Chains A and B, each alone.
Chain A
Amino acid sequence: MNPVNYLFLAALLFTIGASGVLLRRNAIVVFMSVELMLNAANLALVTFSRMHGNLDGQIIAFFTMVVAAAEVVVGLAIIVTIFRSRHSASVDDASLMKL
């Protein structure tokens, strides 16, 4: 199968993720959309690795997974804390960072 199709899939996934980040209010869903975007990027990296015949892309994909795992730990912790204090997981309610 033509590897370019994987790139299209990656672009599609990234677009879905980006739309989810911009349009959804629930922090958990936004978070999952961010994961989707990360994995779309991973897919693109692995595909390019395969197309160009070197392993750099796969190595970066591993790094991305490690960073994503760490990010999930910190991010979920924050979301849980916010939910506990405000009884809501809506990102629009937590609009404290303004003048």
Chain B
Amino acid sequence: METLIGLLVAAPLLGAAVLLCGGRRLDRTGHWIGTVLAAASFVLAAVLFADMLGRQGDERALHQHVFSWIPVGGFQADVAFRLDQLSMTFVLLITGVGTLIHVYSIGYMEHDERRRRFFGYLNLFLAAMLLLVLADNYLLLYAGWEGVGLASYLLIGFWQHKPSAATAAKKAFIVNRVGDIGLSIAIMIMFATFGTFAFGPVLESVGETGEGTATAIGLMLLLAACGKSAQVPLQSWLGDAMEGPTPVSALIHAATMVTAGVYLIVRSGAVFEAAPAAQTTVTVVGAVTLLFGAIVGCAKDDIKKALAGSTMSQIGYMVLAAGLGPVGYAFAIMHLVTHGFFKAGLFLGAGSVMHGMNDEVDMRRYGGLRKYMPVTFATFGLGYLAIIGFPGLSGFFSKDKIIEAAFAKGGTEGWILGGAALLGAAVTAFYMTRVMLMTFFGEERWRNAPAPSPEQPDVEPAARGEYSVPHPHESPKSMTIPMIVLAFGSVFAGFLFSWGDAFVHWLEPVTGFEHGHPPVSALTVTAATVVALVLGAGLAWAQYGRKPVPAVAPRGSLLTRAARRDLLQDDFNHVVLVKPGEYLTRGLVYLDHKVVDGAVNGTAAAVGGLSGRTRRLQNGYARSYAVSMFGGAAILVAATLLMRAV
């Protein structure tokens, strides 16, 4: 069985190699090759899962040592895989959602002449992501970490002929790089302290190294997680990443890659348990981000950017839970999986709407679409109910548990974190209801589309050239079937996971588990969550359901305008990082021109001038040469006589 683990990674990697090297002759069959290999990986994962279920508790983990990667003296880097319950969960999510999105992309990218390349990149992403979650040491994890960053860059910038897409890809890559530095420093500290970076030895001995080292490693890992998972302060790239094709947003920027940070924190749980300061920082980052993303999500008119804000916010929940320690790990992963289902479903729904609306993304030019796209409406609606935590759907079970765990942190901290999570739940209900109402209900604003509003030049009409009234229609089967499957997941996953605490027991051997004890009863927390959700949804209905939605965005309050600009995140980065950077480079260029070049040029000028003067002596007049000869001889004689006399 162990030998199959490597094949999980190998299948999509083979697909990427074949598709990217195969050239144009694969244009007709490329998407099938990619999809079949992704599905093969999923089948393998299912076989391994069945096998794992056949064993008990601690014996479930499998290890595979493939080869020694870099054996140099004390530096032993292996390509080794570990398939335990945590990795298994991720592998099933990645290959499952990945396969569905491959199927969806067949329809979505049908008219794109570079479809083969798109599938090659998708397969590359799957391979890197599987490497990330299957690695048995931090160095191999780092390789996967960089691999998904590369795939993300390639896919965000897939439509590179659009300058906005090319810029967004670069932005994502650079911001991710800041986080990657954190991961590489963490690995270096690990190697310096423990002499190894394999999960087993590092996580076993991190408790004995002292809090300082553990805190340093923990904070660096958190920085890495912030970059990859778009958490404050490295969240600015996720909104722009929506420039990529919608299946990419669903797979990479909602369901899988952006959750890698949560995986890293949960996997390194022992590090954070040894460093309470780092752990508290994780919860703070999570709480801040979940509110930040939710507020941004409320103001965006671009449907994908609203969903991106939501993704940020939901990952904030996961990070918050992961920062709570063994009380929260299982719920972080559970929310991650349910989020993978409903957010991927929501994104695919958004893609389906755009597909039927001439690639229009501005929700103010949607409206009343439910009768034109019944399947999309139903699946999107189920995803919507799941994300806001409607009782009985999957988001309810996972989010409610996280809010409970946050309250169970105890003391003032518990109240603050729990309150933030509860407030986040209300805001989530608000913005998702807003998306829902603006897209599928109300009047059909797309019939007489106005000119783009000057307030938001970033919301470009994707309809090339002049405006044409779109003809909304349901998407083909290849797109609706994945949406239906994901909708099933959104509805039932939470219930299945919570049945007898199945998910918690499943993860317990890897992550450990403690029961949290909230200061108020669990039932009260649940009731409060439901009240928050009703309040949020009601407020959204009052604003967007009862009154007609203006087709041009109103000016809005100060907060709305700030939120439309991602709460001034880019302006902040511009002022704090970009401007000083520019000044620094300008200063360095000035220094280079004036000091370094000045010294070199000055020396040259001095030597040149001196030679010019010296050259005058060589004037070609024999008589002046004779004068110097006589002069020299006279000086010699005078000197000789003088020496004699003395």
Q: Which residues of A contact B (CB under 8 A)?
A: 18, 21-23, 25, 30, 91-92, 94-99
| Minimum CB distance partner of A27 in chain B | B622
Checking A22, A97, A98, A99 against B623 with a beta-carbon cut-off of 8 angstroms, the contacting residue is A22
The smallest C-beta distance from B630 to any residue of chain A, in angstroms, reads 6
B626 contacts A95, CB within 8 Å? no
Interface mask (B171-215 → A, CB under 8 Å = 1, otherwise 0)? 000000000000000000000000000000000000000000000
The smallest C-beta distance from A46 to any residue of chain B, in angstroms, reads 21
Q: Which residues of B contact A (CB under 8 A)?
A: 615, 618-623, 626-627, 630
A91 contacts B618, CB within 8 Å? no
B621 contacts A22, CB within 8 Å? no
A94 contacts B622, CB within 8 Å? yes
Checking A21, A30, A95 against B620 with a beta-carbon cut-off of 8 angstroms, the contacting residue is A95
A-B contact pairs, 13 of them (CB 8 A): A18-B630, A21-B623, A21-B626, A22-B623, A22-B630, A23-B623, A30-B623, A91-B621, A92-B621, A95-B619, A95-B622, A97-B618, A98-B619
| Residues in B whose Cβ lies below 8 Å from that of A94 | 622
| Given contacts A18-B630, A22-B630, A92 and B618 within 8 Å (CB-CB) | no
The smallest C-beta distance from A34 to any residue of chain B, in angstroms, reads 10
Checking B620, B626, B630 against A96 with a beta-carbon cut-off of 8 angstroms, the contacting residue is B620
The count of A-to-B residue pairs whose CB atoms sit within 8 angstroms is 30
Checking B615, B621, B626, B627 against A99 with a beta-carbon cut-off of 8 angstroms, the contacting residue is B615
| Residues in B whose Cβ lies below 8 Å from that of A30 | 622-623
| Residues in B whose Cβ lies below 8 Å from that of A98 | 618-620
The smallest C-beta distance from A54 to any residue of chain B, in angstroms, reads 22
| Residues in B whose Cβ lies below 8 Å from that of A96 | 620
Report Cα–Cα, A94/B52, bound state, in Å.
105
Besides A21-B623, A98-B618, 5 more A-B contacts (Cβ < 8 Å) are A22-B630, A30-B623, A92-B621, A95-B620, A97-B620
A95 contacts B618, CB within 8 Å? no
B623 contacts A91, CB within 8 Å? yes
Checking B618, B620, B627 against A22 with a beta-carbon cut-off of 8 angstroms, the contacting residue is B627
| Minimum CB distance partner of B634 in chain A | A18
| Residues in B whose Cβ lies below 8 Å from that of A91 | 621-623
Report Cα–Cα, A92/B627, bound state, in Å.
14
| Residues in B whose Cβ lies below 8 Å from that of A99 | 615, 618
The smallest C-beta distance from B553 to any residue of chain A, in angstroms, reads 77
| Minimum CB distance partner of B627 in chain A | A22
Report Cα–Cα, A97/B620, bound state, in Å.
5
A92 contacts B630, CB within 8 Å? no
Report Cα–Cα, A54/B618, bound state, in Å.
44
Report Cα–Cα, A18/B623, bound state, in Å.
11
| Minimum CB distance partner of A94 in chain B | B622
Report Cα–Cα, A40/B528, bound state, in Å.
128
The smallest C-beta distance from B227 to any residue of chain A, in angstroms, reads 65
The smallest C-beta distance from A2 to any residue of chain B, in angstroms, reads 23
Report Cα–Cα, A97/B624, bound state, in Å.
12
B627 contacts A95, CB within 8 Å? no
Report Cα–Cα, A21/B627, bound state, in Å.
9
Report Cα–Cα, A94/B630, bound state, in Å.
21
A95 contacts B621, CB within 8 Å? yes
| Residues in B whose Cβ lies below 8 Å from that of A95 | 619-622
Interface core residue of A23, A25, A30, A99 (most chain B CB under 10 Å): A99
The smallest C-beta distance from B628 to any residue of chain A, in angstroms, reads 11
| Residues in A whose Cβ lies below 8 Å from that of B626 | 21-22
| Residues in A whose Cβ lies below 8 Å from that of B621 | 91-92, 95
Report Cα–Cα, A92/B467, bound state, in Å.
89
| Residues in A whose Cβ lies below 8 Å from that of B619 | 95, 98
The smallest C-beta distance from A16 to any residue of chain B, in angstroms, reads 14
